[in-house]
Amino acid sequence: MRIHLINPNTTSGMTETIRNAGVTIAAADTRITASQPISGPVSIEGHFDEAISAVGVLDEILRLDQETDQPDAYVLACFGDPGLLAAREATRAPVIGIAEAAFHMATLISTRFSVVTTLGRTVIIAEHLLDQYGFRHHCRRVRAAEIPVLDLEDDSDRALEKIIEEGIRARDEDGIGAIVLGCGGMANLTDTISREVGLPVVEGVTAAVKLAEALVGLKLATSKVGDLAFPRPKPFTGHYAHLSDLDLNRRNS
């Protein structure tokens, strides 16, 4: 089984962090690979960044699905789950976003959880996802440690300290049983944060890898009936002319 992790931003160090987290948690017979788009933002911290990065995510899936040894499942390793439904349209393979995966896992071990994310502006994005996925009543609060995403790479000790501080506040103030980490760049911090905060900590990259293994093991692929059917071939113009008359149904048969 091959599970491919896509880091939707273009920071290679974060891609490696994400890949290492997947390798650590994967079953012995699961092969983890990872990549990032050629073009796009170095970090994703808002709606604009997400929109740009979603195109890069789709380019990666279209490229990887042409390989002879194409992935059995994909993980989108950004907590905003950018382009998730479009990615599911583009392939038969299961595609799992790390926010959706983390929310699911958290509800299996606790009736209430809080999310600790990076910047305050991304709190609203996480709240929108909780509503969209139907987990809002399970989440007490989405909290921001107020750290730029790249501080997880460039100032990691300070970033970890601030995440732990916010996790302790969540534990003491929110009446929760678990914490969800709200950034793919936190994938290597789970054990340390859980130990310091004293609560189970759910991190989306590792959660998504285990869910992907389960779906592949159950031989469940993305449904191609309804809104997740392959996009209809049609002309595209300008920068996207290479997508003109793209017959994904033929490519994935």
pLDDT at 250: 58
Q: What is the pLDDT of residues 111-156, one digit of tens each?
A: 999 999 999 999 999 999 999 999 999 999 999 999 999 888 888 8
Q: At what angle do helices 156-173 and 190-197 cross, to 10 degrees?
A: 40
pLDDT for residue 251 is more than 70: no
pLDDT at 245: 82
The domain locations on the chain are 2-98+207-251, 99-203
Confidence of residue 252 (pLDDT cuts 50, 70, 90): low
State the amino acid at position 243 in one-letter form.
Answer: L
99-203: what CATH class? alpha beta
Supply the pTM of this predicted model: 0.94
Ranges 33-37, 65-69, 191-195: which has the least confidence: 65-69
Domains 2-98+207-251 and 99-203 share a fold: yes
- The verdict on domain 2-98+207-251 having CATH code 3.40.50.12500 is yes
